[in-house]
Structure 1
Amino acid sequence: METHRRSIVKAVIWNILGLATMTLVGLIATGSAKTGGMMALVNTGIGFTVYLIYERVWSKVQWGRFHV
């Protein structure tokens, strides 16, 4: 099991990468940095929340873990 702090740090780093990627994709798709940035912010907010929940649920699942 991991700490809540570790889950949050992992989620923040992952979402920073996603924010940068989605901003670029949004810019390419729309031609607008503002629109691309807004799309990326919304996506990051949703993704951050879902990822935290996902990680906490999986931290409770024992399947596939080796106990040393």
Structure 2
Amino acid sequence: NMFLAARALGLGTRITTTHLREEQKVKDWLGIPDHVETVCLTPLGYPRGRFGPTDRVPSADVTSYNRFGQRS
């Protein structure tokens, strides 16, 4: 996984769609042809702030089954 490899190297990354607000400007800047649709970007770089362990919520607390909000 690219995200795990980046973290192991001390790099930060994430999936983002904020570029869609200015998609044409981003496409021009990155040289992406107009016929290519961008769905998300994954910026990669060294974080400015604290980059320690992550806190994880148990998956059972955020997982729904068959219907939103329906827990197992």
TM-score range, shorter chain: under 0.3
Higher RCO (Cα < 8 Å, 6 or more apart): 1
- Write 1 or 2 for the structure with the bigger share of helix: 1
Higher strand share: 2
Q: Normalised by the size of structure 1, how large is the TM-score?
A: 0.25
Larger Rg: 2
